[in-house]
Structure 1
C-alpha cells in the first residue's frame, strides 16, 4: 500500500492552521489600510497635499511589495512556507510600529516602504499552504475564509484605528496594531505545520514541473503566456485601482463631505463596508464550490457578476444626498452607508474567486509564484496607483468643483470596475480549457 500518495485528512489542526494564516492576513491589512483613517490628521501635521498622501498610501507601499512578491513566492515554492510567513509577519509588524515614531513626511515614507518589504512574503506562501490544506472541492470556500483578511482587516483598522486615534492620537494606532503582530508571528512559527505540496491532487504521484530550474523571468513569462491567467491578472489589476482608491479615500470623503469625525467615519464606514465584504467573500466562495461542481465556468462567471453589481452601488455611495440619514441612538448613519455595505458585499467577489482560480490552473509547485504574480498586478496597479490616482484626480477636480473634487475622483476610479468585468468575461472560456488540459489522461 503506497501511503506516501494518500491524501491527508482534514481535521482540527487543518482548520487551526487556516485560522492562524487568516489572522496573519487580517493583521497585514490592518497595518496596510489603517493609514486610510489617519490620512487627515497625518496630512495636517505634515502639511501634505492629497497627491502626497496618495503617494504615501500607494506607491510607497506598492512598488516594493510588487517587486519582492514574486522572488519571495518563488522561494516559498521550494522552501518552508510556514517559516517565510512567520518571518514576514514579524518584519511588517515592527515596521508598522516604526510608522508611529515618524516625525517628518520622508520618515513616514520610508517606514511604509519597510511595511511593504515584510508584507511581500505573506500572501503567496499563505495561498499555497491553504491550497494544500484542503481538497479541490473545498478549496474555494477555504480560500474565501482566508480572503476575509482584507475585509476584516479594513473593518478593524477603520473602527478600532479611528477610536484609538480619536483618544490617543494617530501615532498610538501604529503601536497598538504592530505589537500584537509580532506575537502572532511567533505563534504561527510554533503551531502551523508545513503541509505536503499537491497532496490532494489526482496526479500527486506524478512529479510536478521543476519550476525552480527555470530563471525567474522565464517562469513569469511562461505563466503570463496562459491566456486565462493573464486576463485575470489584468482584470484584478484594474479592480485594484478602483478598490484601493475607494477604500483609502472613502473615510476622508465622509469626513470632508458629511462632516464626520475620525472615529465616527471609522466606525460607520468600517462596519458597513467591512461587514458587507466579509459576508460577500464567504458567500461567493460557498456558492462557487457548489456551482463549479457542475460547470467550472462559474468560477470566473461569478467574479464578473459580482463586480458588475458593485459598480452602481459604489457610485451611489458618493452621490446619495448628504441630507438623507438615519439616527441610531446618537449615531448619525447616512443612507450612503447602505450602498457601502452592498458595494463591500459584491466588490469582495473578484479577489476571492480569482485567487482560487489561479490556484486551480497551475501545478502545486507553482502556486506561491502564481499567487504572487496575481498579487503583483493588484498591488502595483491597485495599491501603487489607486490611492495616488484618486489623490491626483481629487486635486484636479477641486480646481473646478471645490470640496466636491474628492467625490468626482472617487466616482471616476470606481467606474473602472466595468473594465474588470470585461476581462473576466473574456477569461471564462480559456480558464475552462486550461482546467481540461490539467485533467489526467
Structure 2
C-alpha cells in the first residue's frame, strides 16, 4: 500500500482516519495502551441511510491498496445516488449466492433427507428400504446426482416412460415418491417452481391413467430351450452392455440390481455377491452365489476403473438403464425384455430340474407371501441355491475358467 500522507488522511477521533468521500482507515490497537503500537488496519465506507450512520467494511489495508479502496467507494457512492443501501445490497447478494448453492444439492441427497425425516412415521424399516430400492433402480440412474433444482419434466419422463406401460403399479409409486421428494426440497429451499412430477394437470397430459394402461401379465420372455443359443450370441457382442446382460441372465437378478452392482458387494474368493437391502425390491439383503462362468466374466471386468462393476461412459457412474434395451434393439430382438429371462430361468427350473420351489423362489429374491412360512424359513438356502445356479450356468452353455 502507498504511504499515506497527512494531506491524504485526516484523523477523525480514536482509530478513524478520513480520506474523503466517506472512505476511512480504521486502525486498531495492540495490547499495552495508547501509543504502544498499531493493530489491524482496514478500510471502511461510512455513510448515512435514513439518518442512521452505517459502516461498511472494504477489506484489510494490507490486501486492498488505497487506489482500490477509493474505486470501491466511488462505486458505492453511485449506488447511494440511486437510492440503494450498499449493506442491504450486499446482504441480498449473499442470500442469493446461498440460495443458488442450496439448489446445487443433489436429488439423491434430498431423497435421503426426505426418507430420514419421515421414516419414523412409517410402519416399519422395510418401507424405507423399498423407497430407497425403487429410487435407486429407476430415478437415481437418470438424475440422482443432478442438482435437485435441475430436475424437470423431461428427466422425470425419462425415468417413468420406460416402465409406465409395463410396470404401471411400480411406476405410479415411483412418480409419487419423486413428487414427495421434490415438494420436500421446495419447502426446504433447495428448489423453486412447480413440481415436475405432479400428476393432475401435468403428467396426466403426458401419460395414460394407470387404470387405462393395458395390464401386462408377463414380460416378453425367451423360451428356456432357446437361452443357450441366445447366450452364445451375447458372447459375441462387444461392449459392457453385453457383459451386463450375460451377468444378469446367469445370476437371475433384476435389471436394477445388476446395473448397480459394485465391487464392494462382490467377494471373488467366496464366489458371492451380496446386494444390500436398500437396492433390493423387497428391502431385504440378498446373497447371490456366483457360478464359475460369472466369476470368469467378473475377472474380465476388473480392468475397468470405478466402484461399479459395469461402468457407464461418465466417470463414477453405472451403465445407463437403457443400455441393455439398446443392445436388444441392435440384435433385432425387440420381442424380448431383459427382465423376461427371470421367467426363462423359472420355467427351466420347474420343468427340467428337481430343485424345490422355495429354492428357486429364493434365488429370484421373491417375497414370501405366507407369514407362517416366512417365520419358519430362517435361512437363505444358500448352499442349495449355489447348486441351482451352477446348474443354470451349465445349461446356458457358459464356460468358466
In the superposition, the TM-score normalised over structure 1's length comes to 0.22
Q: Which has the larger radius of gyration?
A: 2
In the superposition, the TM-score normalised over structure 2's length comes to 0.24
Higher helix share: 1
